[in-house]
Amino acid sequence: MTMSFSFKDRILESLTDLYRVKKPASYLPLELNLRAPRFEEREVRFVISYPDLYEVGSSHIGGKILYHLVNSTDFALMHRAYLPRPDMQAFMKERGISLYTLEELRPVRDYNLWGFSFSSELTYTNALKLLELAGVPIYSEEREGWNFPVVFAGGPCVYNPVPLSPFFDLFSIGDGEETLVELGRLYRDIKRSGGSREDFLREARKVRGVWVPKFGRHPVKKAVFAKVPEGFYHTSPPVPTVETTQDRIAVEAARGCLRGCRFCQAGYVYRPYRERDEKLVKRLIEETFRNTGYEEASLSALSISDHSRFNTLVPEVMEVCYREMISLSLPSMRVKGFNPDLASQIMQVKKTGFTLAPEVGSDRLRRIINKDLTNEDLFRAVEGLFSRGWNRIKLYFMIGLPFEEWEDIEALVDMLWQVHKIGRRYRGRKHLAAGISIFVPKPFTPFQWEPFSLEEEVTEKISFIKRKAPKSFTLRFHDYRQSTVEALLTRGGEGVSRLIFEAYRLGCQLDGWDEYFNWESWTGAFDRSGIDLNRELGRRSLEEELPWDFIEGVVKKEFLIRELDRARRELWTPDCRIVGCHACGACTPEEIRKLKDYPIPEKIEFKVPPRPKREFPLKRKVALIFEKRGFSRFLSLLDLTRAFTRTFRKFKVPLRYSQGFNPHPKINILLGLPVGVEGLGEIVELELTEESFDFDGLIEESVKFLPEGLKFKSFVDLDLKETLLKRIERVTYLIEPKGDFNLDPLRAERGVTRKGKEVVLKDWILDLDREDGRLRIDVKVLNGNTLNVQDILNLIGLDLGSADVVRKELYPV
């Protein structure tokens, strides 16, 4: 315990310099609604890591589900740790800080079990870097006794766990909900009885879905969570204040897919199909909104429009979304049968762009990949969107697929031209985009035996598309080199483990980010590991044993071979719910019988009642006085706006919104502070559509929702056209230097800002003095502008790393 307190103190002492790193708030407990159990409160302590940056990992829906589930038990807890950016890694190394959890700033190595969730092979080297940062041995064989956490892995990537096997103590194959709780109980019982780490691993082999590499390969049946329809789901998650990739309510409406797209691993490994009914989905969205104040929601599913109650699901959900000003997205809508009128109904709250995934340009290749869609379906959907005022459309394609011919690439370009021509028939500037990825053969798909395309072939196809595509399209191609790494890792055997380790040793990390991906280091790793690129990337024999063949309960190899043959013959395999079971081997007889309860809607057709145009009359204007101290001084102006918006929405403040396609609340933070500066009395003004609201209650109740150091202190009613900014004539900074400084430049008539702009200092600096052992500097406010405190520090030879800065109350109340 003493070690933990000294560790936290070391972090606190380093905070002065934290403003130097990018997005410092992502490394501190600065989320809204952060209520995880304390370390001391539970006997078994998990850490979960999605091995990527916070803004990606905190959005991971699987991690949110497991976080909620474990923290809902009475004996275990789960905290989180993500990969810091390289600048933060250097910061931590310089100050002797090991990887820590967000919830308590506690070393990860203090916890009992540490789980990694892999959704991308390009995060493999990130995982090794996380182990290094935590001070945990990279290889599992070096973790003896109870000195280190039991390190395990799950997620869709570990359906082939072999490449990662030397680094992890065990793997959780399949759905993790019941597996993690069972492992937690097992850990508790073994530890209580005085058992060893090896005793735990030996017993863990008996848990369904668990593979322990230490004891060799043996048949492992994937775990299936049958209770998805019952709705065990997170409705009160921590809410980020920094911007993240999927910053919204995400309710899992269905799990699994039976469409059988032959390139799509998720469509096979997430079987059997399970779904939640529309009443439950609606309730989950309502509860999550009440707990978080999110402005957006999405219905998560591999194919949401295949939900058996889709035509009643959307109206139910839209009723909540319209009432609470929540914009709804349906990220996996099928194009076939799509009715653009439905899009207009869904976008009653907020109108955004629309994304369609034809995957390929020709109907022939679409039959090969088993995509139930024709070119005419796509053109009909595009025409409908343009005719109803949509101007932003994005298309997703894939190249390098098995049995692809040049005619298919030409058909892709023709499709882009056809979309361009349709758009020209309608008024308004069109924003057209196409994302083009490179096919990677994945385990447990019919194409798992197919080769990865040669670079010269892909390069030629990309060059052709760039030359021939209409200039109105913004084209984005996935990097062939990144796809090469993905292809090597996804089908690899034990020899690929060496490649992962060598790449990590050469500094590879964040390989999914263009700015961090280092191809030179990867090529060096190829040489060091002795990897046979032709073997790993080439065609596999149907007769050979594949590294993942010992994983059972996914889909049968015989079924995949049959599907590969149907692909060669350009035959479509319909959804099981249309023609009956295809005997893929993923479902039990009972699960097959249940499919009759989930029929695919014959037609996507629902009716969302038209809503009256919203009016936002200005009835009241209020200024809330708040402070941001301690950790919260690292929240940026955008972070604060995001935090306040969600707080006001959660507590039902009657906010006034702007008009137009993208309404936003009328919230304004006055004279925003730089990241790293404390404020004792800051001001946020907001406009309301109702006169009555209990702000005293908000001030009291929001304390538990807001992050540490951020709280409301009081409020002031304003005239409808008034702003407190006009009453503020000066601001006062208290500066506590930690190094040498010279005040003479501030007494000069003129000075130069950090950006090289000359300013007349006597027009801004009102007073220099000392107060309680600190410098006190009064600065003039003129027409809503003032001199930036970082320019003041720069003039006297300081910065936010060599001085603690506090701004006194902007306006006395």
pLDDT tens, position by position, 672-716:
999 999 999 999 999 999 999 999 999 999 999 999 999 999 999
**Beta carbons within 8 Å of 206's beta carbon, 6+ residues apart:** none
**Beta carbons within 8 Å of 553's beta carbon, 6+ residues apart:** 174, 221, 222, 224, 585, 586
Residue 91 scores a pLDDT above 90: yes
Residue 428: is it exposed, middle or buried by C-beta count within 10 angstroms (0-12/13-18/19+)? Answer: exposed
If asked whether residues 592 and 571 sit together in one domain, one would say yes
Whether residue 323 is contained in a domain is answered as yes
Omega prior to 358 cis, within 30 of 0? no
Cα gap 324→313, rounded to integer Å: 17
pLDDT at 604: 80
pLDDT at 610: 72
Tell me the one-letter amino acid at 103: E
If asked whether residues 616 and 590 sit together in one domain, one would say no
What is residue 495's three-state secondary structure? Answer: helix
Whether residue 184 is contained in a domain is answered as yes
DSSP 590-638: HHHHHGGGSPPPSS----PPPPPPP-----EEEEEEEEE-GGGGG--HH
DSSP 28-63: SS--BT--PPPGGG-SEEEEEE-SS-HHHHTT-HHH
Mean pLDDT value across the chain:
94
Instruction: Indicate the residue among 694, 725, 756 that finishes a domain.
Output: 725
Nearest to 693 by CA among 649, 748, 629, 733: 649
Residue 1 scores a pLDDT above 60: no
pLDDT in tens, 649-677: 999 999 999 987 778 999 999 999 999 99
The CATH code of the domain that includes 202 is 3.40.50.280
Q: Once rounded to an integer, what is the mean pLDDT over residues 307-331?
A: 90
Whether residue 230 is contained in a domain is answered as no
Strand bridging mode 150-154 / 473-477? unpaired
> What is the pLDDT confidence band of residue 337, given thresholds at 50, 70 and 90?
low
Whether residue 719 is contained in a domain is answered as yes
Residue 3 scores a pLDDT above 50: no
The three-state (H, E, C) secondary structure of 725-773, written as one string = HHHCCEEEEEEEECCCCCCHHHHCCEEECCCCCEEEHHHCEEEEEEECC
If asked whether residues 204 and 55 sit together in one domain, one would say yes
Residue 113 scores a pLDDT above 50: yes
The CATH code of the domain that includes 469 is 3.80.30.20
Separate counts of helices (H) and strands (E) for the chain: 26, 28
Cα gap 65→685, rounded to integer Å: 36
- Among 131-135, 483-487, 773-777, the least confident range: 773-777
The three-state (H, E, C) secondary structure of 232-283, written as one string = CCCCCCCECCCCCCCCCEEEECEECCCCCCCCCCHHHHCCCCEECCHHHHHH
Cα gap 601→575, rounded to integer Å: 12
The CATH code of the domain that includes 707 is 3.30.70.580
Cα gap 787→767, rounded to integer Å: 13
Q: Once rounded to an integer, what is the mean pLDDT over residues 336-341?
A: 71
358 phi and psi, to 5 degrees? Answer: -70, -20
DSSP 163-183: GGGGG-SEEE-B--HHHHHHH
Tell me the one-letter amino acid at 699: I
Cα gap 34→237, rounded to integer Å: 8
254, 274 in Cβ contact below 8 A?
Answer: yes
142, 521 in Cβ contact below 8 A?
Answer: no
Whether residue 525 is contained in a domain is answered as no
Q: Once rounded to an integer, what is the mean pLDDT over residues 192-219?
A: 97
DSSP 85-139: PHHHHHHHHHHT---B-TTT--BGGGSSEEEEE-S-GGGHHHHHHHHHHHT--SS
Cα gap 235→248, rounded to integer Å: 12
If asked whether residues 367 and 460 sit together in one domain, one would say yes
Whether residue 239 is contained in a domain is answered as no
Cα gap 342→449, rounded to integer Å: 40
Q: What separation in angstroms does the CA of 230 have from each of 226, 280, 284, 429, 748?
A: 9, 8, 11, 46, 71
Cα–chain center distance at 786:
37
If asked whether residues 342 and 376 sit together in one domain, one would say yes
Residue 352 scores a pLDDT above 70: no
Strand bridging mode 274-275 / 803-807? unpaired
Q: Quote the DSSP letter at residue 361.
A: S
Q: What separation in angstroms does the CA of 535 have from each of 159, 441, 443, 488, 491?
A: 20, 14, 16, 10, 11
Residue 620: is it exposed, middle or buried by C-beta count within 10 angstroms (0-12/13-18/19+)? Answer: middle
Instruction: Indicate the residue among 725, 750, 785 that finishes a domain.
Output: 725
pLDDT at 613: 78
Residue 679: is it exposed, middle or buried by C-beta count within 10 angstroms (0-12/13-18/19+)? Answer: buried
> What is the pLDDT confidence band of residue 349, given thresholds at 50, 70 and 90?
low
If asked whether residues 185 and 291 sit together in one domain, one would say no
What is the extent of the structural domain holding 281? 248-478+541-597
Residue 15 scores a pLDDT above 90: no
- Among 174-178, 343-347, 582-586, the least confident range: 343-347
> What is the pLDDT confidence band of residue 350, given thresholds at 50, 70 and 90?
low
If asked whether residues 210 and 87 sit together in one domain, one would say yes
Whether residue 57 is contained in a domain is answered as yes
pLDDT in tens, 54-75: 999 999 999 999 999 999 999 9
Percent of the chain scoring above 70 in pLDDT? 98
Instruction: Indicate the residue among 221, 237, 269 that finishes a domain.
Output: 221
Cα gap 343→351, rounded to integer Å: 9
If asked whether residues 562 and 693 sit together in one domain, one would say no
Strand bridging mode 249-252 / 220-221? unpaired
Q: Once rounded to an integer, what is the mean pLDDT over residues 496-523?
A: 97
Residue 222 scores a pLDDT above 70: yes
pLDDT at 333: 75
- Element (H or E) spanning 524, and its range? helix 519-529
If asked whether residues 357 and 418 sit together in one domain, one would say yes
Residue 187 scores a pLDDT above 50: yes
What is residue 373's three-state secondary structure? Answer: coil
792, 776 in Cβ contact below 8 A?
Answer: no
If you search the block for the tokens 């319909």, which residue do you land on?
A: 574
Whether residue 712 is contained in a domain is answered as yes
> What is the pLDDT confidence band of residue 648, given thresholds at 50, 70 and 90?
very high
> What is the number of domains present in the chain?
4
Cα gap 228→247, rounded to integer Å: 23
Token pair listed for 80: 């989180």
If asked whether residues 294 and 442 sit together in one domain, one would say yes
If asked whether residues 49 and 127 sit together in one domain, one would say yes
CA angle 93, 84, 166 (to 5 degrees): 85
**Beta carbons within 8 Å of 721's beta carbon, 6+ residues apart:** none
pLDDT at 313: 92
pLDDT in tens, 767-800: 999 888 899 999 999 989 999 999 999 999 999 9
**Beta carbons within 8 Å of 713's beta carbon, 6+ residues apart:** 625, 626, 627, 681, 699
Cα gap 109→148, rounded to integer Å: 6
If asked whether residues 715 and 743 sit together in one domain, one would say no
